[in-house]
Amino acid sequence: MKKKALFVTALLSSAVTFAQLAPPSSGEDDVLKNRKGHPILPKEGDIALGFNMIPVIDLFLGALNPATTYAGSANTVNYTSNMNNQIMGKYFLDAKTAIRVRFGINTIGGSITNQVQDANALYQAGFGTINDINAASLLRVDDKVTFQKTNMLLSVGYEKRRGYRRLIGFYGAEIGFGYSSSKTNYTYGNAFSDLYNVAYTSNFNTGATSTQSPTNPARQTRVLDSKDRGGFRLGLRGFIGVEYFVFSHISIAAEYGFGYAFTTRRGAKSTQETYFNGANGPSVTVENVNTDSSEKTRGFTVDNNNGQAFSMNNTINGNTSLSGGAGAITLIFHF
């Protein structure tokens, strides 16, 4: 009996000694997990994708309060919008460090065609019969506008992270580049004439037409093409925020930033065609016109300043429906 007791005592003593000499734990058991045993936080090699939650919040609160207006220019909630019109992605170098990218590009292009009466055919029919005139009055030619608009932003940053369990704080910096442009071209089915009236489209939004009369001594002008406001944006932004993992690898983050931005804006230009019946007779001239001045701005801004380089704010003189800024609240998926 004494031999068995001595054997058990020696065995326990050896186990304690081995445990003390054993290498430290790999830390795998220290990984934060949910009740099903799945890791909650991202690790080295993981990627993340996020999107702005502000439009969702606006829509939800607007539904709760029907009296409020929800539209692109009248949001229910007025937050900064750090991720609006952008996709946010991260690559984790390790559990506490990530490379982040934000990218957004918005383009629109197309054409609008307005039909107007064929002025030359009607004029030529005037030398024929009433039937010729009636037939020519049914003929139409096309006035057409084609347009292309672009607004894009790319930013790359470095993010450091630290926290406790599901709550993570993060901070870092990113550099951003933005570009915007807009151009429009017009073609007219009827050329200006010194012999007959010409109906041509002057407003492609409403379809209303104006008439050029060869006997009118005033100048009559129509636009052939235009290059609207556009330019480049470059900036450096620091950010700080918090992130809470609601579920395994699904988190909600809120951040705020300050940045220094440099912006250039080129002035709008257009090519115009002008008919003028002056003392020396009728003439048609084509000239290039500067319709707006260029501009350069720089300065230190916070995220809710839509003019800063990290904003998708429209800088094309209101010609697109693109809205801007970076959203302070983001839903992020990690995998």
Categorise residue 207: left if φ over 0, alpha if ψ from -120 to 50, beta otherwise: left
pTM: 0.66
pLDDT of res. 96 = 92
With residue 120 as reference, give the H or E element that holds it: helix 119-125
Contact by Cβ (8 Å): 270, 319: no
Within-domain flag for 264: yes
In sequence order, the 6+-apart residues with CB closer than 8 A to the CB of 130 are none
Residue labelled with tokens 């009827």: 190
Distance of CA 44 to the CA centre of its chain: 30
Within-domain flag for 30: no
pLDDT of res. 83 = 54
pLDDT of res. 144 = 92
Q: HSE, CB side, 13 Å, CA atoms: give it for residue 218.
A: 5
List the helix and strand counts (H, then E) for the chain: 4, 14
Within-domain flag for 212: yes
Within-domain flag for 59: yes
pLDDT of res. 85 = 63
pLDDT of res. 312 = 44
Expressed as residue numbers, the domain containing 330 is: 49-334
Within-domain flag for 128: yes
Within-domain flag for 147: yes
pLDDT of res. 88 = 85
Within-domain flag for 13: no
From first to last of its 335 residues, the chain has per-residue pLDDT tens of 444 444 334 433 543 343 344 344 334 446 777 778 778 888 989 999 888 777 666 666 655 554 444 444 444 444 444 455 678 899 999 989 999 998 888 888 899 998 999 999 999 998 999 998 999 999 999 999 999 988 888 889 999 999 888 999 999 999 988 888 889 999 999 999 989 999 888 888 777 888 888 888 888 899 999 888 778 888 888 888 999 999 988 898 988 887 788 888 787 888 999 998 887 888 888 998 887 777 777 777 666 554 444 444 444 444 333 333 344 678 888 89
The number of domains in the chain is 1
pLDDT of res. 53 = 75
Within-domain flag for 40: no
pLDDT of res. 292 = 76
